[in-house]
Amino acid sequence: MVQLYNLHPFGSQQVVPCKLEPERFCGGGRDALFVAAGCKVEAFAVAGQELCQPRCAFSTLGRVLCLAYSEAGDYLAAIEEKNKAAFLRVYVNWRSKRTENCRVCIRMVGHKVEAPLSDSFRDQMSIIEMPLSEAPVCISCCPVKGDLLVGCSNKLVLFSLKYQIISEEFSILDFERSLIIHIDNIIPVEISFCVGYVALMSDLEVLIVKLESDPKSGESVNYQPHKTNNSGKQTEGISNETLQLESDDFVICQKPMELLGEKSSQSGISVTLESTGLADKSIKYYHVQHLLYKRFAPDISSLVLADDIKLHSLQLLPIYQTGSPTSDRKKLSQEKELLSLFCFFSLPHVGYLYMVVKSVELMSVYQYPEKSQQAVLTPQFLHVITSNNLQCFTVRCSAAAAREEDPYVDTTLKACPPVSMDVCALRIQLFIGLKAICHFKNHIILLTKADPEAIPERREPPKRPLSRKGTSVKLKTSPVAEAGWNLYIVDTISPVQLYKEMVDYSNTYKTARTQSCIHLLSEAHLLVRAALMDASQLEPAEKAELLEAFKESCGHLGDCYSRLDTQYSHLALPYYKMSGLSMAEVLTRADWPLEDGSQKYERGLIFYINHSLCENLDEELSEELAAKVVQMFHVAEPKQLPHILCSPSMKNINPVTAINYLSKLDTSGFSSILVTLTKAAMALKMGDLDMHRNEMKSHSEMKLVCGFILEPRLLIQQRRGQIVPTELAVHLKDTQPGLLVASVLGLQKNNKIGIEEADSFFKVLCGKDKDTIPQLLVDLWEAQLVAGLPDGLLQELFFKLTSQYIWRLSKMQPPDTTPLRTSEDLINACSHYGLIYPWVNVLISSDSLADKSYTEDLSKLQTLWWKKLLPELCHRIKCGGEKGQLYLSSLKETLSVVAVELELRDFLNVLPEDGTAAFFLPYLLYCSRKKSLT
């Protein structure tokens, strides 16, 4: 379905001052227009909205039948006719031709130019003659590399662009005939070529193939792959005998067919390669990959085979990879890199647009209201001419290319309008007597002529049945130049200007909340996105303006999806993110409810706010906006209200307001414990300790832990990448440390917080630096050991606990808070704590360790830990690494303490079985001399 809008994509218009009626014309690069008439080509300079100025003119060998310009190499290729014979010539260095009488150098392709002659080539136009064994019919230049593909009746010839180095300071453009593509059973009328992709078209057939190189082959040799069999014809019930019954009395029509991918090799068209290049070894093609074959059936209902059944306007359109506006990748090189490729061709009343990179897919079908004569595809639009109208349709190339560049574009971070979105006609502009069209940059070139009978036909109407054998290419002689023709240059307006018109137009649909508003804003978004994909052609100011329009369009789309209650309402989130709008800015754009609360909040806006608040953005809403958010969720999604209030962005919410809304909640439908904890946190924030205590006493400690697991942000929040304990967590540290430790342990076991994150939380909570371990963190480690950890983490936990015990013993440093578990508690609760060694009892009974905190730490260093941990410590010392010195220091401190208190026999029992004797010897000597010294 094609939607119709009455926008204004066409801007200024000027007339090209041609002297004769144009027979062929084409655009060139950024500023050149070539017009061929008779035996002459005129070149014009086209820059902006200034008048089109003649640049130069040069004579041709004969009447120009086909014209093509290549920006790579800045050359013009032409098929010219003289004495009923067709010739191929290439015009290079044409910008140096100042007057028509200037000298011109003519040379053969591949002709070696000697250095002494270089001066004659430097400042004059050169014509390269390119002989062919068969008459050329059509030509196409690769827009990326500048290679020239020539179509003949049963083969295509590829000329690779190269440069002859004449001296260190000078080189000239040349070509090498590098490949011949032999084709059977189809005669090309039009061809298109782009970096190895070849599209060819006859009256009713289109074939797209890809020329591929063989990475395993090291040499360039003639290579003839096996020909595809012609089973495609016979499987359709048309035998060779039937094809021989052709006469003027019968019309034999084949069935329409579409074959995609490898299946297109069954079309019956044989494609074989013959490599002919000798010098250039950089790029060689060795085999063919079939991508698409499509055949149309003529309409014979009128019993007359009219010309309106022919295909026209074959075109391959590349999209280059220059960096998406939503991509983090920064492209340093400005070289063109193919991102995606599209193929367009058209019947008189319908056009087809395919994507042919990675996979072959029909993207869009264009239904024309009138019979079309010609069409040109651009990254932004499809321009179609009928006899009296210039029509502008939208295309989906930028949407498809965006997904090629980023397959994950449709996520909560980024989005792009779908490729399947209906196309629309932006404008139908009246032009009387339209005959031909071409396009370059932002210019559309139109040829008009009032007399409809003077159309130069491409071929004679067929007088025999439609078969591949019966196809011919005959060009009518152009009629004598007559009055009533004009060649126009119509400039398309800037993408930003058209974008603004689309946005203004979309406001007519805004109040109705229809899909039409989204559709038009999506068109505007794709228009800007397509312009940004060709950023190499933009000035810095233009690019900045487009980027601003891109962000603005994302904001408009976010507004649309936030107001709709559809399956796509979630797209409000990625579009708002791409817009760069803050949450506060989005909330001020939203429609607020009336005082009676009759306004309905759609789920698009609710989804955006909910997701944004859950992301812990470094943005704090004002008290007023925070109250609005609470009101919205109270109306639209009350069960999310406790989670919303725990977001760091809601820091400024008035606690009285929050408690009022929480009190209105019906807790039967969801967890009442979460409501209780949120109310307790808000009571604490407003200084009402009695309410806080009452709320905390209403549930058991186990249920409170479950509540914290449901919403970890009640305890732990992140702001600007840093862990911040909440006011509730600080209060629990002083009043209910056991509940706090149990809750953090529950978060760990439910993967709501990592081990390192938990360590950092307790250090920040207790005001300790990263090298100081608070007792609450030791309590957490002991709780982890009791709860059980995977074996991979167990040894690390053993080491952390042992190091802390030893450090406190060696430094005579007591815990900063009372430990939650005694050594007896740990022995009874954890299998990792075994019976206490006799030497530990000796140490505990020592007068120097009478303090209970020291005896507790020493008791925890008991059958089992020494045998596990001391060898593990020695092993880590041997492995080295960043912590090797720390491990060594810990071992020395441990041995120093133990050697003081233990008997020699007990000391020997705790030492590891392996190790360097010289290391342990001083401690053993000290331990053995203690008794003699005493």
Q: Per residue in 642-657, pLDDT tens?
A: 999 999 999 999 999 9
pLDDT, the chain, mean? 81
Find the mean pLDDT for residues 922-927.
79
Name the nearest CA neighbour of 854 among 803, 811, 797: 811
At 729-738, the pLDDT tens digits run 999 999 999 9
The answer to whether residue 217 scores a pLDDT higher than 80 is no
The answer to whether residue 420 scores a pLDDT higher than 60 is yes
The answer to whether residue 416 scores a pLDDT higher than 90 is yes
At 26-38, the pLDDT tens digits run 987 778 999 999 8
At 551-595, the pLDDT tens digits run 999 999 999 898 877 788 999 999 999 999 999 999 998 765 555
| pTM listed for this prediction | 0.81
Residue 329's SS3 state is coil
Q: d(Cα 148, Cα 150) in Å, to the nearest integer? A: 7
Find the mean pLDDT for residues 609-633.
91
The answer to whether residue 8 scores a pLDDT higher than 80 is yes
393 or 885, which is more confident? 393
- List the 389-394 sheet strands across, edge first: 3-4, 424-430, 389-394, 381-385, 374-377
pLDDT at 250: 54
Q: For residue 852, count other CB atoms closer than 10 A to its CB.
A: 10
Q: d(Cα 853, Cα 857) in Å, to the nearest integer? A: 6
Q: For residue 17, count other CB atoms closer than 10 A to its CB.
A: 13
At 841-853, the pLDDT tens digits run 554 555 444 466 6
At 43-100, the pLDDT tens digits run 999 876 667 888 889 999 999 999 999 999 999 999 999 999 999 999 998 888 777 6
Distance of alpha carbon 519 from its chain centroid, rounded? 21
Percent of the chain whose pLDDT exceeds 90: 47
pLDDT grade, residue 357 (50/70/90)? confident
The answer to whether residue 920 scores a pLDDT higher than 80 is no
The answer to whether residue 873 scores a pLDDT higher than 80 is no
Find the mean pLDDT for residues 411-433.
91
Among 429-433, 818-822, 828-832, the range scoring the smallest mean pLDDT is 828-832
pLDDT grade, residue 913 (50/70/90)? low
Q: What are the tokens at 365?
A: 């079908």
Find the mean pLDDT for residues 253-258.
82
pLDDT at 538: 77
Q: Which residues contact 38 (CB under 8 A, 6 or more apart)?
A: 20, 23, 63
Distance of alpha carbon 219 from its chain centroid, rounded? 37
Q: For residue 914, count other CB atoms closer than 10 A to its CB.
A: 9
Q: d(Cα 716, Cα 695) in Å, to the nearest integer? A: 20
Q: d(Cα 90, Cα 125) in Å, to the nearest integer? A: 10
Pairing status of strand 24-28 against strand 10-15: unpaired
Q: Which residues on adjacent β-strands are paired with residue 42?
A: 35, 57
Distance of alpha carbon 19 from its chain centroid, rounded? 49
871 or 881, which is more confident? 881
Q: Which residues contact 302 (CB under 8 A, 6 or more apart)?
A: none
pLDDT grade, residue 292 (50/70/90)? very high
Find the mean pLDDT for residues 17-30.
89
At 454-511, the pLDDT tens digits run 444 444 443 333 333 333 333 333 343 445 899 999 999 999 999 999 999 988 876 6
Q: What are the tokens at 146?
A: 């500048």
At 515-547, the pLDDT tens digits run 788 999 999 999 999 999 877 677 889 899 999
Q: Which residues contact 651 (CB under 8 A, 6 or more apart)?
A: 620
At 303-343, the pLDDT tens digits run 444 556 899 999 999 998 765 565 544 443 345 678 899 99
The answer to whether residue 229 scores a pLDDT higher than 50 is no
